[in-house]
Structure 1
Amino acid sequence: MLPQPVMQKAQEELLDWNGQGVSVMEISHRSKEFIALTEQAEADIRDLMNIPSNYHVLFMHGGGRGQFAAVVNNLLGEQGKALYLVDGSWSSAAVEEAKKLAGDAQIDTLNIVEKTNGISRIVVPDLNEIKQDYRYLHYCPNETVDGIEIFEEINSPWPIVADMSSNIMSREIDVSRYGLIYAGAQKNIGPSGLSIVIVRDDLLAYPQLTQASIMDYRLAVKHDSMFNTPPTFAWYLAAEVFKWLKAQGGVAEVAKVNDRKAETLYAYIDSGDFYENRVAVANRSKMNVTFYLKDESLNEPFLAEAKAAGLVALKGHRSVGGMRASLYNAMPLVGVEALVSFMKAFAEKHVA
């Protein structure tokens, strides 16, 4: 979901952006007008996330999966090893891509999810006890499919690489704790096709594997993310989302709303026996609330009646089933309240 004011502004400016008489999609990405847009976008995301000056902000192609590969090729080198923490579907996909590029010998994995009585929880061991020299530690702090989020700061003796595609700018973080943060734009930033990379200076000196120029962080830095034509419309929309976030009061204020949204939905799920969540309270995602109907024969009627009520995209991922409500930044509290109201009515209707 994108913020409605951003979508409305994009609609108004579609044929005439910034008084140019043409769409932002039609102007040169090297024009002074578009360069001004990109500079403001970078300044705004730096302000929103309090990004230190020794970090570069890159606007790149390829989404999250593109960065699965780019991280390996930019940071690992031929002799390096990396440790991947696995807590769900996307961290597993990152491992698969890393092994495809570097081979099993260079990629170690550590499962950090424990299940007890059907409830999943995150358990991160003391990483300082691992006697191995890794180039980096990779993890995904929010797993959209599984509805699991890691809120604790990971203490790592190696630079941390974090896939924040689904929770970037949903709450405040200390960027200086990370070596590299990447995020596909299509959750909290803008449309698909754009990815954000925030990388610390020293990581740019790491030895590379064979790397396509389009995904080379060093070239992206050198050419201000314009080594080739960037996804200009996605960049424009991201810039507008950053402005919208600042107008809401910044990340700290948005986080308060996100807390209320998640608390509202989880409180209702926990209030009875009709629905259930299968994640430990401490690790419940605030972006992706997964839940199950105790009577799974009601899944299809639930989805059909929800759609009729104007509530869409509630079907859980095919790998886990159930339901999933995504509460990204642009989703207002009233949307969550509408979902809870529907869930109550549906439960009352179908209770034996």
Structure 2
Amino acid sequence: MTSYADRWEAAQVFDAQFAYATVKDLLAPRMAVYWTDLILSAVIGWSGFGLAVTFTPLHWLGIIGLAVSVLALYRGALFIHELVHFRSKAHTRSFGRGWNALIGFWLLIPYFMYEGHAEHHSKRLYGTRFDAEYLPFARLSRREMVRVAAAAVALPLFGPIRFGILAPVSWLVPATRERVYARASTIKIDLEYRGHPPKKSQRLSWFLQEFACFAIVWTLGVLIVLGHVPVLLLLCWYLLFVGVVSLNTLRLLGAHRYLGNDSDANIVLQMIDTINYPSSRIAGFFWGPIGLRLHALHHLVPSLPYHSFGKAHARLVAALPPDSAYRLTESPGLLAAVIDLWRAPRPLPGENPFTNAAILHDARKDAP
């Protein structure tokens, strides 16, 4: 097994500019691929959901429908991640509206709730308390891993509360608005993270997305109370959401080595704290779709579109030596990585989590 010290040492000589130059001709997103994939994911996912509602999750056809719905809509939901990385604002606007209409609104995760994802790639903020998508699990009690995994059963309640109650309250009582933005407007695993209010140019967009979710929550609620929509639909939606969140939580636990320690981390240090699963092609299709099984590659070249990941990875493997920092990000499988994270020796209070502080310091200073 590769030690942390080996990774830091390899980081000192890793040429990020060379890696970028190797794949820079692959950076243009092919929007026809994006739209086709998104639409197919939504059609298959909601068709499976309809099958589950029709036959109930107790019938074998309902079980199949629910499983298909979870897998397809999980894939579709992850396109929210791609939205943040489009370099063209026009692509973000048009694809974001389509994504909201097909998936985001109905799962009560409009894309404005992922605006802060750029902080997860910031040299200054990655792995710190200002990174909503990161907790240093390798340095924290294992209870934190259990807590994040167990949250899947409660998270379906967040959307109805956020958009059915908190949104209208914040419209009517402006004094509560700042707190709603700070505490309940970001997709996150760090519950202490505080989000940011929208910029002036974003206010209308955020409000319209909030209002759409508010309308869905209250319309479905009234229709269920009046008996026009079966309560079974709500149960199936709950099971769907739990399934999507559970898959995503498992992926997140295996996405990084989670050694962040509130210090600057350039793209090389982010990369070696992140994991690639090049051999998990079949399993990764289900738990890490749209390129997320090659997450270290994503942190190395954040603007690389998901449909180019396979070709980019092959180029880098061919161009870089076997002992390069990029190759040292590999793991044989998701469960193996999660087990390694669980078994990682927790440092004593005040102890540096890395095996060689000098190497870590040099890597931060010298890596591109």
Higher relative contact order (CA 8 A, sep 6+): 2
TM-score, normalisation: structure 2: 0.27
- The structure richer in strand per residue is 1
